Structure 1
Amino acid sequence: MMNLPDYIPNIHPLIIHFPIVLIPLGFVVHLICVFLKRMDEFRFPIGLLYLAATASSSAAFLSGRQAADTVSVLAQANLVLSEHADLALWTLSISVTVTLLYGLWLRSKDLSFLPWVVLALSLVNIGFLVVTADHGGQLVYRFGTGVSLPKEKPAIPQKNEQVSAITTNPDGSWKWESQLENSQNNFSEFYFIDGNSDDIQSDSKKNGLFSIIKPLSFVLKKTVADLQVEVKLDLSEFNGDVSILHHYQSMEHYDFLEISPGKITLGRVENGKRNEMDSKNLQVDGWITLKAIGSGRHFKGYLDEKLVVHGHAPAFDSGSVGLWVNGTGTLGLISIETIILKHN
């Protein structure tokens, strides 16, 4: 395995410049040869350029997926990251199509229109390449992805005369925090799907510890599209599983990140049917941070800032965020934070 310097977290930066050069180069050489009527002389070198562009695009796409799964990403960078991945897939797909069509023309010169089709697609691909590279540049130079990360702006809570466990940002992002001194207000602002706030008894001496007497689920009735949800909890004395619910519309339609004894699962319930996108066997102990991200068709689950599950599905309509606490016992729950992801 290649040993990289400490300042290079992955091989993606070393590979990405090859398709950036080869995709436009293939188009330019092909175009010049067409207008100079020298296609017969250079038809195979042009084919090699297109093939090299496709191979390097494949390497860049695969290394980019690996990089996205290993580097730390700011919350607001996830939207750009998802779009970057989608654009890269389009760029790779067009490169493959261009190479296949050019190869078809080499084998059957009767299809005289194919070189023009290839040129048109190559030009379109350059457009996708430019936008893809722009998103990649934003990830590095705007959000510091893979380098020294800038600190996120702290939440600015709305002024509220009443004591509330929830603070809200002007953009709609919100954070719930357990309150020991005002425990009666801990869950008063949530809508309970199953059970009610009386089913959660707060420990009178230790903040963030709750006695769960029966399974329950609750959401905050604020709809969110692209988001990051971060929950700090302790399952050491809890018997059951806990799920972050997001894009919740009903118990028939929602996305989830579930942690259960020995396993973490990323999935979706659609039309009442449970579909698992990804899962991983693991053991946890003590306080943990569970994070779910839903951005476009990209879904991720983190445990203590480490990506553990990753899946793809069509984007759901905006929905609510909450928890499904499926079990009984003492649950440690310090905070639930929802960050809305959007372009600034």
Structure 2
Amino acid sequence: MFEGFPNLHPLVVHFPIVLLLLALLSQVLAVCYIRYRQKLNIVTFVLLLLGTVGAFAATQTASHISGDADEAAFAVFDTHQHYAWISLWLAGITTVVRFVALRCRKVIWTNYLIVILLISLSVTLFITGHHGARLVYQYGVGPKSNGALMK
């Protein structure tokens, strides 16, 4: 569907990453500053929701990646996709937990659970990004490449 737009994935993927990492920052602030906790929890939810929708869009644009590839590049691509899906699932689960926790205001321990989930999400985002960078810089996969990385 997006084969005519080889640079779409890099354009779409970076904005949700920033939103999801900012969600971690706002949730940590919500844990630290009790006075502003409810407002920061709402900010965290909005960032998570937008980041999750953006992450879904990023996973949908990844199938068109172009470039000359060997077996090692396919292995890195599979790992990249695997961690991208883990990141998407973690983002979705964290968004749902944050929404439920907003409805049940007296459940304070969920703030710590959400911080743990967001740290886990950040780790999977970094691993995904590392493998994406390997595809671009080590294997030449991307919009300026000549071939196609398709199975």
TM bracket, shorter-chain basis:
0.7 to 0.9
Match of 2:45 in 1: 47
Q: What TM-score does the superposition give when structure 1 sets the normalisation length? A: 0.40
1:58-77 aligned at under 5 Å gives the runs 58-64=56-62, 66-68=63-65, 71-75=66-70, 76-77=72-73
- Could you say what secondary structure the match of 2:61 adopts? helix
Structure 1: tracts of 5 or more residues without a match: 151-304, 311-344
Match of 2:16 in 1: 19
The CA distance in 1 between the partners of 2:149 and 2:24, in whole Å, is 41
Q: What TM-score does the superposition give when structure 2 sets the normalisation length? A: 0.87
The CA distance in 2 between the partners of 1:121 and 1:42, in whole Å, is 17
1:258-297 aligned at under 5 Å gives the runs none
Q: Name which of 82, 101, 108 aligns with 2:104.
A: 108
- Could you say what secondary structure the match of 2:128 adopts? helix
The CA distance in 2 between the partners of 1:121 and 1:73, in whole Å, is 36
Q: Report if aligned partners of 1:27, 1:123 keep a CA contact under 8 Å in 2.
A: yes
- The answer to which of 47-56 and 81-90 deviates more is 47-56
How big is each residue's C-alpha offset from its partner over 1:246-296, in whole Å with a ceiling of 9 and x where there is no partner? xxxxxxxxxxxxxxxxxxxxxxxxxxxxxxxxxxxxxxxxxxxxxxxxxxx
How big is each residue's C-alpha offset from its partner over 1:9-35, in whole Å with a ceiling of 9 and x where there is no partner? 241011011122111110011111220
The CA distance in 1 between the partners of 2:86 and 2:43, in whole Å, is 25
Shift of 1:52: 1.1
Q: Name which of 128, 133, 143 aligns with 2:129.
A: 133
- Could you say what secondary structure the match of 2:107 adopts? coil
Match of 1:29 in 2: 26
The CA distance in 2 between the partners of 1:142 and 1:72, in whole Å, is 11
How big is each residue's C-alpha offset from its partner over 1:296-338, in whole Å with a ceiling of 9 and x where there is no partner? xxxxxxxxx795xx6xxxxxxxxxxxxxxxxxxxxxxxxxxxx
Q: Per the alignment, do residues 79 and 11 of structure 1 end up closer, same or farther by CA in structure 2, a change over 3 Å counting?
A: same
Q: Per the alignment, do residues 77 and 149 of structure 1 end up closer, same or farther by CA in structure 2, a change over 3 Å counting?
A: farther
Task: In structure 2, give the amino acid aligned to 1:23.
Answer: L
Shift of 1:73: 4.1
Superposition misfits of 4+ residues, deviation over 3 angstroms: none
Shift of 1:61: 1.0
| Percentage identity across paired residues of the two chains | 26
Rg (Cα) greater in structure:
1
Q: Going by fraction, where is helix more abundant, 1 or 2? A: 2
1:257-336 aligned at under 5 Å gives the runs 307=150
Structure with greater contact order relative to length (CA < 8 Å, sep ≥ 6): 2
Task: In structure 2, give the amino acid aligned to 1:74.
Answer: A
- Could you say what secondary structure the match of 2:42 adopts? helix
1:172-321 aligned at under 5 Å gives the runs 307=150
Q: Report if aligned partners of 1:22, 1:52 keep a CA contact under 8 Å in 2.
A: yes
Q: Going by fraction, where is strand more abundant, 1 or 2? A: 1
Task: In structure 2, give the amino acid aligned to 1:114.
Answer: T
How big is each residue's C-alpha offset from its partner over 1:215-268, in whole Å with a ceiling of 9 and x where there is no partner? xxxxxxxxxxxxxxxxxxxxxxxxxxxxxxxxxxxxxxxxxxxxxxxxxxxxxx
The CA distance in 2 between the partners of 1:85 and 1:40, in whole Å, is 35
Indicate the RMSD between aligned Cα atoms, in angstroms: 2.3
The CA distance in 2 between the partners of 1:73 and 1:87, in whole Å, is 22
How many residues were matched structurally?
147
Q: Report if aligned partners of 1:57, 1:92 keep a CA contact under 8 Å in 2.
A: yes
- Could you say what secondary structure the match of 2:26 adopts? helix
